Amino acid sequence: MQGYKQQSNQTYTKRVDHIAGSHRPPQAMPEPAVCTVCGDVYADRRWTKPDAERQSTKHPHVRPPHGVICLACKRQADGIPSGYVYLSGAFLTAHFDEITRLLHNEAARAAEDNPLARIMETKQEPDAQLTVTTTTEHLAQRLGRALEKAYDGEVRYDFSHENKLARVYWQRDA
């Protein structure tokens, strides 16, 4: 009896290993899909805001959408940003509300092109610094350009191709 038990355990372990070890290529997202966290809709191989779905009545969705978690919500849940914007300088302190409003307005515009481009967190650091994290590396760069355009200042863009991480440093003192 004991021998039989042992054998069945081994079989079970093997099966688990087999599943864990099989590296299947990432599957295409099932369509239509809806993010169970933010409600954004994936159809026609792109994400849209739920209210934009009404415009795509040319593709009536007969089947109920698959519940998924979009990449932006996944990053938010895991706390792993794709972009960082570091703001500093006396000008930031003097125009703090105005500057944070500009960042959020720019993010809202970016979301019209890609709903998965979002600001994750705006965090006030000591020494009059602000760190903004984003779900896409592109949004961090876009925020940097928006700051540059609106307020000049000094901007530096860093991009790590290894982990696709964008870091933007913006500073203006006076």
What is the contact surface with Zn ion in residues (CB under 5 A)?
A: 35, 37-38, 70, 73
Q: How far is the CB of 47 from Zn ion (least distance, A)?
A: 8
Q: How far apart are CA 6 and CA 62, in angstroms?
A: 49
Q: How far is the CB of 143 from Zn ion (least distance, A)?
A: 20
For Zn ion, the closer of residues 33 and 143 by Cβ is: 33
Nearest in space to 48 (alpha carbons), one of 84, 19, 72, 76: 72
39-46's contacts with Cβ under 8 Å and 24+ in sequence apart are 40/70, 40/72, 40/115, 40/116, 41/65, 42/68, 42/70
Tokens 């590296």 correspond to what residue?
Answer: 23
Q: How far is the CB of 75 from Zn ion (least distance, A)?
A: 10
For Zn ion, the closer of residues 47 and 91 by Cβ is: 47
For Zn ion, the closer of residues 117 and 132 by Cβ is: 117
Tokens 């026609």 correspond to what residue?
Answer: 44
For Zn ion, the closer of residues 33 and 92 by Cβ is: 33
Q: How far is the CB of 56 from Zn ion (least distance, A)?
A: 18
